Amino acid sequence: QVHLVQSGAEVKKPGSSVKVSCKTSGGTFSSFSVSWVRQAPGQGLEWMGRTIPILGTTNYAQKFQGRITIIADKSTATAYLDLISLRYEDTAIYYCVYSSAWYGAFDIWGQGTVVTVSS
């Protein structure tokens, strides 16, 4: 059974950047995909992007192009989300999500990382 453990909460100032990690265990890291999904307070779910480590590919939602980087470290089975030029509206819970199929459901969700953007 795949398990995802994310890094802890962050408080950031507007204009700064944040890096969230997602350590995976219990599966073959390279063969599946890891997406990042965020949820603003009281709001719905928003897909930000994904990586497929075995292919070395990443895809990003157009909304975040230029501000987002997702990387996969196969040596540690860890995925990272980098978001720069933070704005107040980036305040949200950020989830890493595992999919066993590249175009399939989100099978397993991490516990979430709260990112607060505040001056």
27 makes contact with another protein (CB under 8 A):
no
Cα dist from 74 to 8, 28, 67, 71, 112, whole Å: 21, 10, 23, 10, 21
Smallest gap, in angstroms, from Cβ of residue 105 to another protein? Answer: 4
57 makes contact with another protein (CB under 8 A):
no
Selected binder of another protein within 8, 13, 41, 44 (CB under 8 A): 44
Chain CA centroid to CA 116, Å: 15
Distance CA 104, CA 78 (A): 20
Cβ–Cβ under 8 Å, residues 17 and 26 = no
Selected binder of another protein within 8, 89, 105, 119 (CB under 8 A): 105
Task: Name the residue nearer to another protein (CB basis): 18 or 108.
Answer: 108
Please identify, among the stretches 11-19, 23-31, 59-67, 84-92, the one whose residues bind another protein according to the rule CB under 8 A. Answer: 59-67
Task: Name the residue nearer to another protein (CB basis): 45 or 84.
Answer: 45
- Judged by DSSP in three states, 39 sits in strand
Distance CA 32, CA 55 (A): 10
Interface residues toward another protein, by CB under 8 A: 35, 37, 44-47, 50, 59, 61-62, 95, 99, 103-112
